[in-house]
Structure formats: structure tokens, C-alpha cells
Amino acid sequence: MSQISNALEKVENSPAEVVAQYRDSLALVMPSHLQQRVGAWIRNTQGLLRRDPKLMEAAQNDVGQFIAVLMDAGRLGLEPGTEQYYLVPRWNKKKRCTEVTGVRGYQGEIELMYRAGAVSSVIVEVVYSKDHFQFRPGRDERPVHDIDWDAEDRGELRLAYAYAVMKDGATSKVVVLNKGHIAKARAKSDSANGKNPEFSPWNTDEEAMWLKTAAHRLTKWVPTSAEYLREQIRSKAVVDAEQRPEPLPANVPVPAPGTVDDDYDEGPIDAEFVED
């Protein structure tokens, strides 16, 4: 990411114009379904900057970081500035200014699962205190969640759960998170605990972040398109290694540290509420 920052120091254009300049690079990392509409993807991103002065300011403070975030969204095939992939101004202590970070949303997590092609449906829901919820691990295949849709107040957020129905009809691991699990996830989020927490989706869209946390934990049990992509890269590396004597790098490159606020994952927690 430092190379991008250095390259952009000489560019006098605004972040919106720089995004357009990186059209070919963004299209190169995008999956095929987004390459066909890369122009609309870029225009939507430029519109986000124009409508949100705080986001524009954060992007101007470090254009390289902003482009790196967009590269990550493009690589995953997700729409930035939506519930698939949030763009959040975050305070950087070292730089003493805000910069843009990316936060995958629950719709983005679900999209990655569907795109992998192994599931027929993904269920991610929150449970309020006045809902009826039952799931007995080892006895129930899927949760029972009854909601009084006539109730004006369903109470407070109580649980979040997620599971997938696979193409063969089998049910995946059922992930259930309580308030304690959600609190631990939130505590590890840089965007929720930085100098400008008011911009964090944890504060602007709390229910969506409960859903995202459950969906993210489900990806430990259900294939995602990102996982498939990594396996394809590893498989190609193995084939290439067999065809030539020189060794290949051991690790597949990953987005630069700090690009995405997704480091709060504690690993999978299933419906038995395993204590840490």
C-alpha cells in the first residue's frame, strides 16, 4: 500500500478522479460479473464521495489507503458504500487524521457464500427479547424462531444466528451468538472504538452488524467465493512448482494490514455458546 501512496503523492487530482484513473487496475482484480459493469461501480463510488464530505475528507487524507480499500472491495466483488461493504472514516493515530477503512457487511458475507455455489439458501436473523427462539444442538436440525409481526415493539436485541442449506439439502453448522459474543466482536472493531465512532456501522446500523457477525462466523463452516479463489491460487502454485525447479512464495498475498476492519473475528462459535 505504501507504493500506491508514494505514486499518488504526485497526483493533484481529487480522490474521485483518482478512482477513475485506476479503472483498469480495479477491473483486473474484479470477478467477471463486476468487470462487465466496472463503469457503474466506479460512478457509484464517486457519488458516495460527493454526497459524504467526511468520507471525501478521509479519502483525501490518504488516497493510497482509499484505493487499497476499493481494491479489496473489487477483489471480493462487493459494492462499496452499501450493506455489502461499508466505507468508514477512521482515525489514524500515527497520521493524526482520518482515513478510509473497509468493513464487510452481512450482505457481503452472504453474497460470498452464494457465489461459491455450494449453498441453496443462507439464513441470517436477529432475535429480539419478545421473540420465541429455540434450538437444541444435537436434537434440532434448525432453529425455531417465531415472531409476533403485529407487535409494535419486539424488545431488545438478544441473539443473532445463521445457517445455510446446502445444495444437497443438508443443514450446515448453526451459529448462535448472544450479547456477550457480540460485545467481544464489537470491542475488537477499530471503527467502533476509534476517535470517530459515530461513523462506524456498529453505531449507525447496529442490527446489521449483529447480522454481519453471525454471517461472518458462518463462513468458517460454509465455503465462500473468496475461499474458492484462494484454493485456486494455491492449486495453481502447486502445479507451477511441479513444472519448474525454483520455489514459489509460501504465502498467497493478502490485503495490506489495516485496509479492512475485520480483525475482530474470534473464530467460530456454535449454538452451544462455548465460552472463551
pTM for the whole structure: 0.71
pLDDT of residue 15: 87
- Predicted confidence at residue 56, as pLDDT, reads 93
On whether both 149 and 68 belong to a single domain, the answer is no
Q: Give the number of domains in the chain.
A: 2
**How far apart are the C-alpha atoms of 127 and 210, rounded to whole Å?**
10
Rounded to an integer, what distance in angstroms lies between the CA atom of residue 88 and that of residue 68?
13
Domain identity same for 212 and 267: yes
Q: Tell whether 223 and 139 lie within a shared domain.
A: yes
- Structure confidence at residue 253 (pLDDT): 39
> What pLDDT band is residue 70 in, cutting at 50, 70 and 90?
very high
Dihedral (CA of 153, 159, 160, 164) sign: negative
Same domain membership, residue 110 and residue 98: no
Position 210 pLDDT exceeds 70: yes
Q: Are residues 123 and 144 in the same domain?
A: yes
Compute the distance between CA of residue 232 and CA of residue 186 in angstroms, rounded to an integer.
32
Using the 3D structure, point to which of 88, 104, 120 is the last residue of a domain.
104
Task: Return all residues near 23 (Cβ < 8 A) that are at least 6 apart.
Answer: 38, 39, 42
- Write down the pLDDT at residue 58: 93
Domain range for 166: 105-276
The whole-number pLDDT of residue 13 equals: 67
